[in-house]
Amino acid sequence: MNAPVLNAPRTVRLNAADNVVVAVDPVDVGAVAEGVTARARVPRGHKMATLPIPEGSPILKFGQIIGFAAKDIAPGDWVHEHNVGMHDFERDYRFAEDARVEEVLPVELQATFQGFRRANGKVGTRNYIGILTSVNCSASVARFMALEIERSGILEQYPNIDGVIPLVHGGGCALDVKGEGYDILKRTQWGYATNPNMAGVVMVGLGCEGFQIGRWKDAYGIKESDTFRTMTIQEIGGTKKTVQAGVEAIKTMLPIADAARRETVPASEILLALQCGGSDGYSGITANPALGAAVDLLVKHGGAAILSETPEIYGAEHLLTRRAATREIGEKLVDMIHWWEDYTARNKMEMNNNPSPGNKLGGLTTILEKSLGAAAKGGTKTLAGVYHYAEQVDAKGFVYMDTPGYDPVAATGQVAGGSNVLCFTTGRGSAYGCKPTPSIKLATNSEIYRRMLDDMDINCGDILDGVSIEEKGQEIFDTVLRIASGERSKSEQLGYGDAEFVPWTVGATM
């Protein structure tokens, strides 16, 4: 008996270049959305064409190709399996064919933030002292050191220091010291030791572990200094003496670390880690594309952002290879895809990101579209670099790092890569936080934002109510700069980050 609501269906345009919009509410025949009159019913979450798409032309969502018109599509048409095809696009990498020289603002026009310029030129957004551990066997000693510093009250004398963080983990021994697992841990430790958010580092080991501190120091030419000290429990002679030695080393570092001062630096010094966890049906239409818009802004301002989570972009790597700046960069990504196929097969699992029947009912037409929902947080810029897990990121612009999808493991790799800020989208609600890198949490819907207000920094749910992706992208970009300048994110206020250092464990534990 209710009058049909024809005029108010909400839709979202995910990128200005798109020829489709996504229906937030079901769009009935005859309803008008974005000035286009629907020619067919478009269910919630599905796509409606807003431009004519001739047969064979690409369907663009997230500013990316998600498939090709199988027949001529008119504005107002529902766009789904019945009129979208893939032909052999999937298996065709076309390295670098969409590479562009991206516009970067001159430094005097770049946005700025207040950061800690380090001796090596990198810029920190926080000022921590880290206690690294070579192996789980020294984890408690690292924590005892941090606890003793905390209990001593000495940090009150050093207001410019954000804290002393024990970075403990479950690995470091009984691994193949000539294998991938060792290399990953080696890079991760080095990345945390050199992250610009660290003002000083003590590394403590047991002594007999597979991950030998001496070998690690040799690999990177690391020298002991006033702000970098290593020690082992076996060498020093037990828990108490080692804690004492570590505390003394930290106390020597405190005044040095505290002398650091924030100064005005350009946004190009931001290396932003991109994460999503606890995704929902809104992730791909609100928070992820909004974060992508922020990334596009950041790249324009000279900064860099790291997309990751290989199992979640699987099937869309062909689009990333097209965006690769060079064939070499694209090929590195394809090699990673092949590595993952082997890794999962060896472990009796499989890479499969095809849309399920439920996904299709929800409006996802192709594997590209599904994976691009996760990849949307990377924006649309040329892929300037591809990195292995925990490799040092040295490019500016949009880059990719190979990681699992699992949040703490993925983020650990990105922080090791040098990230000084992290943005994390979540639909079902994540409580993730990180040290030494501040984590900003973006809710994909207003309900989870309200339910977890203590944990969420930004609500992207209002995109469903008409806030544009571009506006939200600007809000995220501005928030990144504020957090980078020292404003504390929600997870920092709550004290997160002491339990979330989780290096990727690859290989057998012997």
Residues 6+ apart with CB under 8 A from 7: 31, 32
- The CB-of-410 to a second copy minimum distance in angstroms stands at 9
Do 376 and 175 meet the contact criterion of CB atoms below 8 Å apart?
no
Compute the chain's Rg from CA coordinates. Answer: 24
373 binds Ca ion (CB under 5 A): no
Q: Which two tokens stand for residue 115?
A: 């950061």
Q: Which stretch binds a second copy (CB under 8 A): 81-89, 150-158, 213-221, 499-507?
A: 499-507
First to last CA, the chain: 69
Q: Which stretch binds a second copy (CB under 8 A): 10-18, 137-145, 182-190, 331-339?
A: 137-145
Q: What x-and-dash track marks residues 394-433 binding Ca ion by CB under 5 A?
A: -----------x-x--x-----------------------
Among positions 138-197, residues that touch Ca ion (CB under 5 A) are none
Q: DSSP for 415-459? A: HHTT-SEEEEEESS------SSS-EEEEESSHHHHHHTTTT-SEE
Among 160, 344, 446, 485, indicate the residue that binds a second copy (CB under 8 A): 344
499 binds a second copy (CB under 8 A): yes
* Residue 275 binding: pick among Ca ion, a second copy, none (C-beta 5-8 Å cut-off by kind): Ca ion
Report the alpha-carbon distance of residue 325 to residue 332 in Å, rounded: 12
* Residue 510 binding: pick among a second copy, Ca ion, none (C-beta 5-8 Å cut-off by kind): a second copy
Q: Which stretch binds a second copy (CB under 8 A): 190-198, 377-385, 398-406, 481-489?
A: 398-406
173 binds a second copy (CB under 8 A): yes
214 binds a second copy (CB under 8 A): no
Dump strand ranges (E) for 52-192. Answer: 58-61, 64-69, 78-79, 84-85, 112-117, 123-124, 128-133, 163-167
Q: Which stretch binds a second copy (CB under 8 A): 55-63, 69-77, 106-114, 234-242?
A: 234-242
Nearer to a second copy, 223 or 348 (CB): 348
346 binds a second copy (CB under 8 A): yes
Helix (H, G, I), strand (E, B) or coil at 256: helix
Do 73 and 83 meet the contact criterion of CB atoms below 8 Å apart?
yes
Binding residues for a second copy, rule CB under 8 A, total: 67
* Residue 276 binding: pick among a second copy, Ca ion, none (C-beta 5-8 Å cut-off by kind): Ca ion
State the residue for tokens 């120091």. 217
Which DSSP helix (H) or strand (E) runs through 149? Answer: helix 139-152
Nearest to 293 by CA among 463, 129, 38, 47: 463
Which DSSP helix (H) or strand (E) runs through 322? Answer: helix 317-323
Question: Omega into 436 within 30° of 0, i.e. cis?
Answer: yes
- The CB-of-449 to a second copy minimum distance in angstroms stands at 10
439 binds Ca ion (CB under 5 A): no
Nearest to 329 by CA among 381, 274, 258: 381
Q: What x-and-dash track marks residues 441-460 binding a second copy by CB under 8 A?
A: ----------xxxxx-----
Among 19, 230, 275, 426, indicate the residue that binds Ca ion (CB under 5 A): 275
Do 478 and 255 meet the contact criterion of CB atoms below 8 Å apart?
no
Q: Which stretch binds a second copy (CB under 8 A): 252-260, 345-353, 380-388, 469-477?
A: 345-353
Do 46 and 30 meet the contact criterion of CB atoms below 8 Å apart?
no
Binding residues for Ca ion, rule CB under 5 A, total: 8
233 binds a second copy (CB under 8 A): yes
Nearer to a second copy, 93 or 182 (CB): 182
459 phi, psi to nearest 5 deg = -95, 115
Among 397, 405, 418, 473, indicate the residue that binds a second copy (CB under 8 A): 405
Nearest to 276 by CA among 439, 65, 161: 439
Do 120 and 138 meet the contact criterion of CB atoms below 8 Å apart?
no
Among 199, 206, 276, 422, indicate the residue that binds Ca ion (CB under 5 A): 276
Q: Which stretch binds a second copy (CB under 8 A): 10-18, 232-240, 258-266, 284-292?
A: 232-240
- The residues binding a second copy (CB under 8 A) are 136-141, 143-144, 168-170, 173-174, 176, 179, 206-208, 233-234, 237-242, 277-278, 311, 343-344, 346-349, 404-409, 428-433, 451-455, 494-500, 502, 504-510
